[in-house]
Structure 1
Amino acid sequence: MTHDHPPRIPTKNRSYRTMSNTAARGRIVALAIAGIAALALSGCAGQSETPGEAPAAEGGTCAPEDIQLIGQVRNETNPYEKAWLDGGDAFAESVGLTQTRLTYDGESPKQQEQLRQALSTGNPECMVLNVLPNGDSDTTPIVKEVDNAGAYLVTHWNKPADLNPWDGHDTWISHITFDGKDAGRQIADAMFEAMGGSGGIIALQGILDTAAAKDRFIGLQDALAENPDVELLDEQAADFDRTTAFNITKTLITKHGDAIKGVWAANDDMALGALQALEAAGMDGVAVVGIDAVPEAVQAVADGTMTATVSVDGPWQGGIGLAMGYCALTGELDVAELSNEQRAFFAKQTLINADNAEENLTPTANLDDFACDNLFDRVTGPVS
C-alpha cells in the first residue's frame, strides 16, 4: 500500500509561538531574544522553523520523528485484531514512523508486563499507546501505569463503567467502543429473518469479563423477547476463540441436533468455528451470524454460508488511536478542550449482509480518517 500524503493538519485550532517585533532594537535586547529563541528550540526536541514552513504548534511536546507508536491486541490469529494492527502500520507509515506491534495472547498479566516494559523504554512522554484491554478490570491498572509515565493512551472496548478519561486523566485521550447491544440485536434480527421467524438457536458468548460480550448478549436477549417463536436452546462462553467455538458447537450439535436452526456468535472467529462444526456434521442451511466483518466471514456472507456480520472497521481502530496521540504530541489536538462525548464514545458500525458483502471484502485503512481534524468524525454518541 502506498500513501501519498500524511494526515491533514487542521488550522482551526492552531496557535503559534511568536516573538514580539516591538522589542527595542538595541544590541542587548537582540541578544536576549536570540537566547530565548535558542532555549525554545532546544526544548522542542530538535524542531526548527525554516522559511516557508509553519512554526511549531503551541502544546507540541515532541518532534514527529521522536514519537513512539505502540499498538497492542490479544493476538494476530484473530483476523480482526490483525487488521487492527495493520491499520496502525498504515497510519505510522503515512507519518514516516513505525508501529510497535504487541500481542499478549489473552493473558492479563502478560498485557500489563508488556506495557510496563514499553513505558520503561525510550521517552514515555513522546509515546502513544493504542490498547485493547483484555477485560474491563484490566483497564484500571493500564490507565494507572500510563498516567504515572505521562504517555498518551487510547483504549478500546473494555473499561469499568465508573472509570472515565475526563476524571483527572490528562493523557488518556479517549475510550472508543461500539454499541454492543445494537450489534447483537442487528445480527439476531438478520438471523431470525433467515430462519423465517421461528426455530431453535444456540448462542456463543465471548469473554464474559468484557463489556462487548455482555452488551452483545443483551442485544440477543432483547431480540428474543420480541420473537417468541425463536427458542434459545443453549448458550456457552467460547471466549471469542474459533477453536473453542468449534468444540462447543460440536457438543451442542450432539445435544440438540437438527433442532438448531441458527447460531448466534458474539464475534466472527466464533461464528467461523461454529460454521466448521456445522459443515463437519453435514448440517446445511443453518443461519450463522457474527460480529467484526473479518475478511473470511465477509466472504462467507458473500458465498451464502453465513448470514450476516457487523463491521466495526478494525483498520480504523488500529490507526485512529495512534493518530489521536500523534496529533496531541505534535500540538494539533488539545485533549483538555475535548468534550466528554469525544473522550468516551460509541463509533459507527455497519451490518454486512448479502446485499453489501462484496464491497466489504477487503478491509483497508482510509488515511483521510486519521487527519487531525477528522479524528472524531465517526462518533455516534457518548458512552453512558
Structure 2
Amino acid sequence: MVLNVLPNGDSDTTPIVKEADAAGAYLVTQWNKPADLNPWDGYDTWISHITFDGVDSGRQIAEAMFEQMGGSGGIIALQGILDTAAAKDRFTGLQEALAENPDIELLDEQTADFDRTTGFEVTKTLITKHGDAIRGVWAANDDMALGALQALEAAGMSDVAVVGIDAVPEAVQAVADGTMTATVSVDGPWQGGVGLAMGYCALTGELDVAGLSNEQRAFFAEQTLINAENAEENLTPKADLEDFECGNLFDRVTGPVS
C-alpha cells in the first residue's frame, strides 16, 4: 500500500506513522508533524515528510499587502488552527514583516481556524470594532481571506488589501480580478501526485528509502507568490508528469526541515 497523507494537526501524525509502519505501508506525510518526529528515526517505510516554509509565505503575502497599502496603515490578521505548524509559522512571517515596516499597525489578530465562514464572522466583528482604520487583511489561508473579502464587500470596504495562502482557484481568480492582492501557491497538483509517486518508486525498487539523505526525507518544497502579474497564468492548475518520474522526485527541495 502507498499513502500520501495530510494530517489535520501535528498530534495526528504520530499514530498515522506508527500504523503505516506496522503495516509495512509506504507513507509520505505533508505539512504537519511534531518537530521531534522524523522519518529517519527507525521508520523504514515512512519515505518523506514534505512541507513548505510558512514563515516565508507569511512574510511574502504581508510584504505584498504592505506594498499595496503604500507602506502604512492598519491591518487585521486572521490566524489558522493554532495547533498546526503552518499557522504558527505563517504568523511568524507576518510578525517579521511588521518588524521591518514600522508604519504598518497590527490593529487586531484572531484565529479563524482556516475556515471561510469563521473568517467572514471574525472579519465582520473586527470591522465593527476598527472600521475604516482597517486598510489590509492578512489571512493565513485563502478560505479565511475569501471569507474576509465577503465581509468587506458587505461593509462597502472594497479598497482594503486582502491576502491569503494556498492559491485555491477562487482566490487566484480574485487576484486576477483585482479584489485580492496576493496568495501563495504550493502547487496542489504536484502535492497530490508526488507522494504517491514516491511510494510507487519505492514499491518498484526504483527509490531506495534507506539511501535517502535526511534532507530528502524531511524537506521544504518550492512555493510561488501569486499576484496581479502572474495570476492569469495560474488560473488553471496543471500537473507535469515529468515531475513524478523516479529521478525527479526531489527536484523541488529548497532546504531541510530542521
Match of 2:232 among 358, 361, 372: 358
Is 1:295 aligned with 2:190? no
Is 1:197 aligned with 2:71? yes
- Distance in 2 of aligned mates of 1:170 and 1:139: 16
TM-score (norm 1): 0.67
Give the equivalent residue in structure 1 for 2:29: 155
Give the equivalent residue in structure 1 for 2:38: 164
Give the equivalent residue in structure 2 for 1:142: 16
Give the equivalent residue in structure 2 for 1:24: none
Task: Write the mapping of 1:202-217 to structure 2, written as runs, cut at 5 A.
Answer: 202-217=76-91
Provide, for residues 201-229 of structure 1, a one-character-per-residue CA deviation record: whole Å limited to 9, x for no partner: 00001110000000000000000011111
Quote how far apart the aligned CAs of 1:178 are. Answer: 0.4
Task: Write the mapping of 1:186-335 to structure 2, written as runs, cut at 5 A.
Answer: 186-335=60-209
Quote how far apart the aligned CAs of 1:264 are. Answer: 0.2
- Distance in 1 of aligned mates of 2:207 and 2:158: 52
- Distance in 2 of aligned mates of 1:148 and 1:372: 25
Quote how far apart the aligned CAs of 1:279 are. Answer: 0.4
Tell me the SS of whatever aligns to 2:248.
Answer: coil
Is 1:338 aligned with 2:212? yes
Give me the identity figure in percent.
Answer: 90
Quote how far apart the aligned CAs of 1:315 are. Answer: 1.0
Give the partner amino acid of 1:144.
K
Give the partner amino acid of 1:155.
T
TM-score (norm 2): 0.99
Give the equivalent residue in structure 1 for 2:49: 175
Tell me the SS of whatever aligns to 2:246.
Answer: coil
Tell me the SS of whatever aligns to 1:332.
Answer: coil
| Number of aligned residue pairs | 258
Tell me the SS of whatever aligns to 2:254.
Answer: strand
Quote how far apart the aligned CAs of 1:242 are. Answer: 0.5
- Distance in 1 of aligned mates of 2:83 and 2:188: 21
Quote how far apart the aligned CAs of 1:367 are. Answer: 1.1
Quote how far apart the aligned CAs of 1:161 are. Answer: 0.6
Quote how far apart the aligned CAs of 1:150 are. Answer: 0.8
Listed as ranges, the gaps of 5+ residues in structure 2 are none
- Distance in 2 of aligned mates of 1:324 and 1:149: 18
Show structure 1 runs of 4+ deviating over 4 A: none
Give the partner amino acid of 1:299.
Q
Structure with higher Rg: it is 1
Provide, for residues 154-206 of structure 1, a one-character-per-residue CA deviation record: whole Å limited to 9, x for no partner: 00000011100011100000000000000000000000000011111000011
Listed as ranges, the gaps of 5+ residues in structure 1 are 1-126
